[in-house]
């Protein structure tokens, strides 16, 4: 079972993976974080939908011909699911705030991908 400290570390690593100015050409760091999330959420109750979305995102990122347009809806769905998940976490320290920040970062990335696909 994942400890709150391990969960917080994973959130930190995720936010770091999402903190970039330009869309990275190497998706390996993102897929590593997605794998860790899938493992952690696979342990939980009521996290099946979120785990499935992460698995779909990881699979799409791994596809050699994946385009920003392929990733955008997956990220928006994931952001929505993280927002819902944050509402069900309870008041574990600053976890709700951090999950909401993650949802915002996912939406921002979806927006960047949308802009890239329009360029």
Of 91, 1, 92, the closest CA to residue 41 belongs to 1
The pLDDT of residue 66 is 86
Q: What is the model's pTM?
A: 0.86
The pLDDT of residue 25 is 64
The pLDDT of residue 49 is 92
The pLDDT of residue 20 is 67
Label residue 46 left, alpha or beta by phi (over 0 means left) and psi (-120 to 50 means alpha).
left
The pLDDT of residue 116 is 80
The pLDDT tens digits along the chain (119 residues) read 678 888 889 999 888 888 766 566 667 677 888 999 999 888 888 889 999 999 999 999 888 888 888 999 999 999 999 999 888 877 667 888 999 999 999 999 899 888 887 87
Of 48, 75, 51, 49, the closest CA to residue 61 belongs to 75
Label residue 3 left, alpha or beta by phi (over 0 means left) and psi (-120 to 50 means alpha).
beta
């Amino acid at each position: 079972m994942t400890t709150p400290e391990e969960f917080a570390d994973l959130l930190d690593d995720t936010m770091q993976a999402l903190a970039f100015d330009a869309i990275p050409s190497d998706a390996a760091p993102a897929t590593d974080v997605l794998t860790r999330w899938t493992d952690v959420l696979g342990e939980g109750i009521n996290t099946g939908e979120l785990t499935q979305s992460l698995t779909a995102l990881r699979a799409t990122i791994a596809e050699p011909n994946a385009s920003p347009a392929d990733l955008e809806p997956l990220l928006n769905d994931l952001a929505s699911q993280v927002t819902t998940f944050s509402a069900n976490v309870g008041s574990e320290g600053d976890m709700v705030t951090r999950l909401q920040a993650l949802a915002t970062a996912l939406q921002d990335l979806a927006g960047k991908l949308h802009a890239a696909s329009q360029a």
